[in-house]
A = this chain, B = another copy of it.
Amino acid sequence: MNAGPHIAEVAALIGDPARANILTALMDGRALTATELSYRAGVSPQTTSGHLAKLTESGLLAVESQGRHRYFRLATPAVAQAVEALMMLTTHTPPRYRPPSREDQAIRLARTCYDHLAGKLGVAVTEALLDRACIEPVGRDYRVTATGDAFLRDLGIDLDKAKRQRRAFARQCLDWSERRPHLAGALGAALATRGFELGWISRAGDGRALQVSAAGHKALNDLFGVALSG
């Protein structure tokens, strides 16, 4: 009768360490193979297979077969959002003080969230765009101004292509470490992709953490007036 049982079902699904590892491994929006996920989950392939079946069956993951590989990814942004919300609880309610690790530091500085920029980097870029009146918040979205339209096209971003996608164009996404909104949606993804193309950012290791290159720091400073401190 209540909603309780329903959320318990999905929460229990996320509540297994192996499955939680799978979900967090997919938080960068990429699609990974079952074997890769098995490694990331820290359990055997057979066990992983069972977990993946449950996750897809319940609609948390989407799967696509390519040859003898099966690629799994988060089914919807809502899944990523729920995982983010749970992450917020792990830091926001500290049972006792836990000194931040090096990886913690790195991932707070710059990371991907689903498929766009997050962390200090994502928030800084978003706020710089706001400062320069390139975008403005409208409800749960951002609107791109005329100024922003020109600016982003100059940067080499195909706004029309981003607009044609079926997903939300420019959404506000809440950051679990900064607890401030950053740019998500098709535009956020396009911006991140362009950053990769230009060599400003690159993936550090196999996680969500990002490395900002020297060229990236320079561009950040020149274009946005942002100095990202380690």
Find out whether the CB atom of B4 lies under 8 angstroms from the CB atom of A140: no
The interface size bin for chain A is 35 or more
Oligomeric state, in number of copies? 2
Our pick among B5, B22, B59, B138 for the contact of A95 (Cβ within 8 Å) is: B59
24 contacts between A and B (CB under 8 A): A2-B21, A2-B40, A3-B87, A4-B17, A5-B20, A6-B90, A7-B20, A7-B23, A7-B86, A8-B19, A10-B86, A11-B12, A11-B20, A11-B86, A57-B95, A60-B89, A78-B92, A79-B89, A81-B85, A82-B89, A130-B139, A137-B138, A137-B139, A140-B181
Interface positions of A (Cβ within 8 A of B): 1-17, 19-25, 40, 57-60, 75-76, 78-79, 81-90, 92-95, 103, 130, 137-140, 172, 174, 180-181, 207
